[in-house]
A and B are shown apart, each in its own frame.
Chain A
């Protein structure tokens, strides 16, 4: 176990004799060997080895491939326009290679394409600072640490490799958008610039080095490219706000107050005539200005600081910063095209969020180690620095972000974390006066200068160093020119993007910002009054959410025992009364008024007169209705032998009529078609009754035997409703009675109407009798019993039922009164107890 060493990146155990982690392919121990091979610093004039990275294409995320496809199409259009300017310098652009554009950085003699941050190194006074372990830095990125913001700074650095310039999608993807995207887009929109004049002197290495798909995407936004011409824009875009500017910054502002164009001198020094005037050799103008004279200097202050600062124009201002400064300047040279291309990094931010902001956890692009091994070739030196061994090809490291941080005298030269240039002017005050903790931490040199490549430690295997990575390697000249002016820390960086550099990470002695950000505590500072108010609010909310029982009567439990008792009592009474051998209760003697009218009709109709009988009751009332109607019909048939015509607005009524005529009235031997006729079911309710009342022959042309009804004997001489001698309505429904009465009102003339109703319908039919619309009424068993009493002593069913009925009624009255009083007392007691409980 002693021979086991833990990987600083993934934490897995490895044998100590292994140089690379077997799990994540990260270097287990820092290499102490001098850089050599592919890791060897590039010498001036050395051309990075071109590598083919087309095999990465299939593993690209879909959105990226789509963007590439779109970019390819647009490239065909833009390429022709650019061909005249670039035909001498550019080479055919491969379209099948993700990183093919990087070959521009591998062009021979393209030292000029060395990122400006490296160029700046040559004239800077590096302050060496020991960089933290590479692996831990990677973890910060993956976990979304503050270094993420440093990464974003690196991305928005104009010195970012050109291959990143094309990451700007042709259209901002809504799902990839984030706050940064909006900020930058707003910034771009607010500062429109004119396109620059083409220059013939400046080589465009970045144009070639940019992957075609990326460059095409960049080309698709020509307008935003042209905004890069703001490198030459004069100052004045931002009004001075020195009163609110920290002292340390104010000094910079003063120096930069007269800064002119030449922002891109550090990256295109000697290449652009436009920058010659502002660039001094290889030394960035802003460095020269800072050290020598207050004349126009590059304003390395990031935009978010520039807004706060004077409106000076800084020639050294990165494209992403300076393009907002001057809308009127046009880059006129190919160098400015380069700048324009790099300036598209502004737009690239709109496409950044997916892979950059989310960083490692979303890097599905590199989830296949076997594919990554194809990237790292066998030429990959074993002494490749860790930062390369853990490097993802697709997630470009931005080591150049470290160099400016070292060279520029203030860490604010690097756009600090999470401070995009889209910060509006009015918000800048708060930015310095209420700088949050994370930002105050981010401005510390150590954390800001740390290169934080977005890598997945298991993403890349040791192998051949891609050309674009080689191009980003520090050059010997730059290394040799480093002067220990900032610090005595001469630590040679052996890992990471700064491998080979000495003292590039200053520990910042004497470099402390003059204005220390306010420390903020995460602890809530609230006064007692506020806390009391908060407690009160909590109480209110708790009261609102607490369940409140709804005051209501408790459901009265059904008493099955009582129900059974009642059933037993009633059933026993009825059963015993029906089994009585002799009648016990006398039949009712009194004749109600309405029943007298029915009696009169039954006795007064002409002999053999046509009578219309409507059977409108349900089968459930058969017993009651037959008992009620039988005496009436028995008497009427016996006395007058009427011709009966049955009709029903109830589906079963017609069949019940047959049952009635063949049941209780069977003794009269009435025959269908001779003595009676059944017209059957009359549908439509009121409509049917009205139609029948208006024209019965048309509405009911046939009887239930499908014979022509109106030619039959029972209906002989009848053509209209009013020609019936009487209308006898047998119903258990008050509405049915009402409908019959209403709809025949105007058609029946003086025809009498007798209603034989159920006891339940009688109260609501009574008004029609009182109004004279109903001539007589027999209601329920009581009415049938009364009528039966007046039927010449003929026996009837009512007598059979009457004992049971009468006994049950007496019993019911007793139960209702007694039980009602008892429950009234119980109810009063319950309510009293309920009130007491309240």
Chain B
């Protein structure tokens, strides 16, 4: 018997698949063993990737072989990285806040600009452009279809947004209710949200089912592998 890498991989894969599937019987030590090993291996793998694909090419190389400017530019993140490592020590965790402040500020700017440029404006424009009959004709969409579907999408978009509007005013009896029209629009929005979440659920289930099929297929392939022997 030759212990080829494929065979070793197949055996380990089969073993871990079975251990994970044992969870369907109930939580058990075998399942936990597999999960803990998986977490440890994944973390080690990620650490190795972070070192070889982030630290080395972006930090070590510039500092070791880069020009003076590259070294200078790399020294700052090196210092920031040292500060981040201080987060491990509660006494020195305050220094890490400098780096965290930098990361938070950069992240805030990026998500702000991305949301505005990449989602907010284009999606609003798309909602409006659905009623552009010329554009619809260019896409081989009939006017009725464009107007009808555009209206539904517009309604779904607006009502779904209204559904997340939770502002309310107290009434005379002390109860809190949204404005009547808002309440009605939110009720319609709930329908759209329900449909969307149903579609997402179906997609999640389809993805999970595909993973299950892939795993069962791998088990069958594993048995076929032994069958070849």
Task: Give the B-binding residues of A (Cβ under 8 A).
Answer: 560, 563-564, 567, 570-571, 574-575, 578-579, 620-624, 627, 651-652, 654-655, 680-681, 683, 685-687, 690, 700-702, 704, 706, 732, 738-739, 741-743, 745-746, 758-764, 767-768, 770-773, 779-782, 800-801, 804-805, 808-809, 812
Contact A743 B206, beta carbon cutoff 8 Å: no
* Complex: A574 Cα to B215 Cα, angstroms: 10
- Determine whether the beta carbon of A623 is less than 8 Å from that of B46: no
Instruction: Give the shortest distance, in Å, between A693 (CB) and chain B (any CB).
Output: 10
Are A687 and B107 closer than 8 Å at their CB atoms? yes
Question: Which listed segment binds A: B120-128, B167-175, B179-187?
Answer: B120-128
**Contact B110 A743, beta carbon cutoff 8 Å:** yes
B49 at the binding interface (Cβ < 8 Å): yes
Is the Cβ of A780 less than 8 Å from the Cβ of B213? no
For A620, what are the chain B residues with a Cβ–Cβ distance below 8 Å? 211
With A578-B217, A758-B203, A781-B206 in contact, is A655–B114 under 8 Å at CB? no
**A339 CB → nearest B CB, Å:** 65
State the 9 A-B residue pairs at the shortest beta-carbon distance, nearest first: A742-B118, A623-B214, A771-B126, A742-B114, A680-B53, A759-B206, A702-B57, A624-B210, A759-B203
Q: Within 8 Å CB of A800, what residues of B?
A: 217
A575/B24 in contact, CB under 8 A: no
Q: Which residues of B contact A741 (CB under 8 A)?
A: 118-119
Q: Which of A741, A763, A780, A781 has most B Cβ within 10 Å?
A: A763
Residue B210 contacts which of A567, A570, A759, A764 (CB distance < 8 angstroms)? A759
Cβ–Cβ contact B217 & A651, under 8 A:
no
A742-B114, A780-B207, A781-B206 provided; 4 other pairs, C-beta below 8 A?
A: A623-B215, A770-B130, A800-B217, A808-B209
Residues of A near B118 (CB, < 8 A) are 738, 741-743, 745, 773
The docked-state distance in angstroms from the alpha carbon of A560 to that of B25 is: 8
Contacting residues, chain A, for B210 (C-beta < 8 A): 623-624, 627, 759, 780-781, 801, 805
Q: Are A563 and B24 closer than 8 Å at their CB atoms?
A: yes
What residue in chain A is nearest B214 (Cβ atoms)? A623
Judge whether B220 and A579 touch: CB under 8 Å: yes
Residues of A within 8 A of B215 (CB): 623
Partner of B209, one of A742, A746, A812: A812
CB of B115 within 8 A of chain A?
yes
Task: Flag whether B205 is at the interface (Cβ < 8 A).
Answer: yes
List residues of chain A with CB within 8 A of the CB of B107.
Answer: 685-687
Name A's interface SS.
Answer: helix
**Does A732 lie within 8 Å of B207, measured CB to CB?**
yes
Q: Flag if A624 contacts B196 (CB, 8 Å).
A: no
Partner of B111 from the list A686, A758, A808 (CB cut-off 8 Å) is: A686
Separation in Å of the A421 CB from the closest CB of chain B? 60
**Inter-chain contacts of A627 with B (CB < 8 A):** 210, 214
| Chain B contacts for A706, CB-based, 8 A | 52, 56-57, 61
Would you call A623 and B211 a contact (CB within 8 A)? yes
What is the total number of residues of chain B having a CB less than 8 Å from a CB of chain A?
50
For the complex formed, measure the closest distance between the CB of B9 and the CB atoms of chain A, giving whole angstroms: 11
Cβ–Cβ contact B58 & A624, under 8 A:
no
Q: Give how many A-B residue pairs fall within 8 Å (CB-CB).
A: 160
**Contact at B214–A624, with CB atoms within 8 Å?**
yes
Is the pair A742, B57 in contact by a Cβ cutoff of 8 Å? no
Say which residue of B49, B56, B119, B153 sits within 8 Å of A655 (CB atoms).
B49
Interface residue B92 (Cβ < 8 Å from any Cβ of A):
no
Contact B203 A742 (CB under 8 A): no
- Which residues of A are found within 8 Å of B196, using beta-carbon distances? 763
Which residues of chain B are within 8 angstroms of A746 by Cβ–Cβ distance?
A: 117
A349 to chain B, nearest CB (A): 53
Question: Which of A564, A686, A690 lies at the interface centre, i.e. has the most chain B CB atoms within 10 A of its CB?
Answer: A686
**Within the complex, what minimum Cβ distance (angstroms) separates B134 from chain A?**
14
For A621, the chain B residues whose CB sits under 8 A away are: 207, 211
Query: B141: nearest residue on chain A (CB-CB)?
Result: A593
Q: Once the chains bind, are B204 and A571 in contact (CB under 8 Å)?
A: no
What residue in chain A is nearest B119 (Cβ atoms)? Answer: A742
Chain A residue at smallest Cβ distance from B196: A763
Known: A681-B49, A702-B61. A690 touches B114 (CB 8 A): yes
Q: Does B106 contact A (CB under 8 A)?
A: yes
Closest Cβ of chain B to A311, distance in Å, is: 65
Contact of B211 among A571, A575, A624, A654 (CB under 8 A): A624
Pairwise interchain contact A801-B213, C-beta atoms closer than 8 A: yes
Q: Does B98 contact A (CB under 8 A)?
A: no
What is the chain B residue whose CB lies nearest that of A738?
Answer: B119
Q: Which of A681, A738, A771, A782 contacts B206 (CB 8 A)?
A: A782
Asked, given contacts A624-B210, A704-B53, A759-B203, whether A651 binds B110 with beta carbons under 8 Å apart, the answer is: no
Binding site for A on B (CB under 8 A): 24-26, 42, 45-46, 49-50, 52-54, 56-58, 61, 103, 106-107, 110-111, 114-115, 117-119, 122-123, 125-126, 130, 153, 196, 199-200, 202-207, 209-217, 220
- Evaluate contact between B123 and A771: CB separation under 8 angstroms: yes
A704-B117 Cα distance, complex, nearest whole Å: 32
| Chain B min CB distance to A221 (Å) | 51
- Nearest A residue to B60, CB-CB: A706
A805 to B210, CA, bound (A): 7
Assess A651 versus B46: contact at CB under 8 Å? Given A623-B213, A742-B119: yes
Within the assembled complex, what's the spacing in Å between the Cα atoms of A771 and B217?
Answer: 38
> In the bound complex, how far is the Cα of B41 from the Cα of A330, in angstroms?
93
The answer to whether B53 and A760 have CB atoms under 8 Å apart is no
Q: Which residues of A contact B123 (CB under 8 A)?
A: 767, 771
A-B contact pairs, 28 of them (CB 8 A): A570-B209, A570-B212, A574-B213, A575-B216, A578-B220, A624-B211, A652-B45, A654-B49, A683-B54, A686-B110, A687-B107, A690-B114, A700-B57, A701-B57, A701-B58, A702-B61, A742-B118, A743-B110, A745-B117, A745-B122, A760-B203, A770-B126, A771-B122, A772-B122, A772-B126, A773-B122, A782-B206, A804-B217
Contacting pair A622 B214 (CB below 8 A)? yes
A180 and B148 CA atoms in complex are apart in Å by: 93
Alpha-carbon separation in the docked complex, A449 to B56 (Å): 98
Task: Check if B207 sits within 8 Å of A805, measured CB to CB.
Answer: no
The minimal Cβ–Cβ distance linking A582 to chain B, given in whole angstroms, is 16
Return the contact of A578 from the options B45, B119, B203, B213 (Cβ within 8 A): B213
Task: Give the residue name and chain of the B residue nearest to A690 (CB).
Answer: B110
- The smallest C-beta distance from A772 to any residue of chain B, in angstroms, reads 7
Complex CA–CA separation, A760 to B123 (angstroms) = 20
Cα separation A804 to B219 with both chains bound (whole Å): 14
In the complex, residue of chain A having the shortest beta-carbon distance to the beta carbon of B26: A560
Q: Cβ of B52: which chain A residues have Cβ within 8 Å of it?
A: 680, 704, 706
B213 contacts A805, C-beta separation under 8 Å: yes
Q: Which residue of A is nearest B125, CB measured?
A: A771
Inter-chain contacts of A571 with B (CB < 8 A): 212, 216
Question: Measured between alpha carbons, how far is A743 from B118 in the docked complex, in Å?
Answer: 7
Nearest-CB distance from B40 to chain A (Å)? Answer: 15
Question: B residues within 8 A CB of A809?
Answer: 206, 209
Query: What's the least CB distance linking A635 to chain B, in Å?
Result: 20
Q: Look across to chain B and name the residue whose beta carbon is closest to the beta carbon of A703.
A: B57
Q: Which of A578, A622, A761 contacts B216 (CB 8 A)?
A: A578
Distance to closest chain B CB from A418 (angstroms) = 56
B106 touches A687 (CB 8 A): yes
Rounded to whole angstroms, the CA-CA distance of A575 and B223 in the bound complex is 13
What CA separation (Å) do A771 and B124 show in the bound complex? 9
* One of A652, A702, A758, A805 near B46 (C-beta < 8 A): A652
A763 near B214 with CB under 8 A, answer no
- What B residues does A782 contact at CB under 8 A? 206
List B contacts of A779 (CB < 8 A).
203
A560 to B62, CA, bound (A): 58
In the complex, chain B residues whose CB is within 8 Å of the CB of A700? 57
Q: Report Cα–Cα, A118/B53, bound state, in Å.
A: 104
- Docked Cα-Cα span, A521 to B177, in Å, equals 62
A574 with B54: in contact, given A681-B49, A745-B122, A759-B206 (CB under 8 Å)?
A: no
User: CB within 8 A of B110: which of A622, A680, A687?
Assistant: A687
CA–CA, A564 to B214, complex, Å? 20
Given contacts A624-B207, A758-B207, A781-B206, contact A681 B213 (CB under 8 A): no
B42, B111, B114, B115 interface centre (most CB from chain A within 10 Å): B114
